[in-house]
Each structure stands twice: as structure tokens, then as C-alpha cells.
Amino acid sequence: MEFLYITLAVVAVILVYAVISFMRIRKTVTTLSQEKFIEGYRKAQLIDVREPKEFAGGHILGARNIPQSQLRQRYKEIRPDKPVYLYDQNGARSGRVALFLKKKGYTQLYLLDGGFKKWTGKIKSK
């Protein structure tokens, strides 16, 4: 019985953390449909935060690859005075990247709803 209570407590903590993270991301970044994303990304910095192997397998035409795993070392490659359009495979990593960039002073942050997995626009693959 004690194990059940401990398990329920751990699950509750995880759920609370997930909800708080979700709310922080919603305040930090504007999630855009593919149509709205297409309207603005050519005038912005388009950043694919997936790993290089994923990027090489196909990416949105014009995107730069700055993987989440390298962001702490490379975030200064992204200009803080221009809009930043982020995407990953399904939207989870780019939300965390947006939180990091917000802490570094970036304010114009946009996220592709559903990520690359749902993208139907032009792509480039190596």
C-alpha cells in the first residue's frame, strides 16, 4: 500500500511539473499554424533544433541547424533583434529552446505547431 502512495505522489509531481512547463512555454512563445509560419519565416531566422542527423534527413528549406544539445554554446549565432522561428520533430524540444532563449533576452519567438512531422511545405534533404 505504501508503494502505491509513493507512486501516486511521484506521478502527481511529474504532472504538476509538466503543467507548469507547458504554461511557461505558452507565455514565452507564440505557436503558429503552418500557414502563419510560412507567412513569416522568410523574414525571420528559421532555426531547426533537431540533431544534425535528423536535419540531414530533411528540413524546411532555408533553415539553419542549431541543435538543442549545442544551444548553450551557439545561441549567440541567433540575433536577438530579429524574429526567431523554431521547429523540431514534434514541438517538444523547440519549446524548451524558446524558454532558454527568453532567459537570454530574446523576445520574438515563434514555434511551428506540430513540428516538422506535420510540415507539408518545401523541404530540402541531403
More confident residue, 33 or 6: 33
pLDDT in tens, 45-100: 999 999 999 999 999 999 999 999 999 999 999 999 999 999 999 888 998 899 99
- Reported pTM: 0.80
Query: At which residue does the C-alpha cell 534527413 appear?
Result: 57
pLDDT on residue 5? 79
Q: Is 110's pLDDT higher than 80? A: yes
Which pLDDT band, with edges at 50, 70 and 90, does 2 fall under?
A: confident
Amino acid making up residue 15: L
| Closest to 111 in 3D by CA, of 98, 120, 100, 124 | 98
What would the mean pLDDT of 30-54 be, rounded to a whole number?
Answer: 94
Report the alpha-carbon distance of residue 51 to residue 53 in Å, rounded: 6
2-124 fold: Oxidized Rhodanese; domain 1 (3.40.250)
Residue spans of the domains in the chain: they are 2-124
**Do 63 and 48 contact (CB within 8 A), yes or no?**
yes
115 dihedral zone (left: phi>0; alpha: psi -120 to 50; beta): left
What percentage of the chain exceeds 70 in pLDDT? 90
Contacts of 109 (CB under 8 A, 6+ apart): 28, 29, 30, 83, 84, 86, 98, 101, 102
Range 6-26 average pLDDT: 71
The share of the chain scoring above pLDDT 90, in percent, equals 63
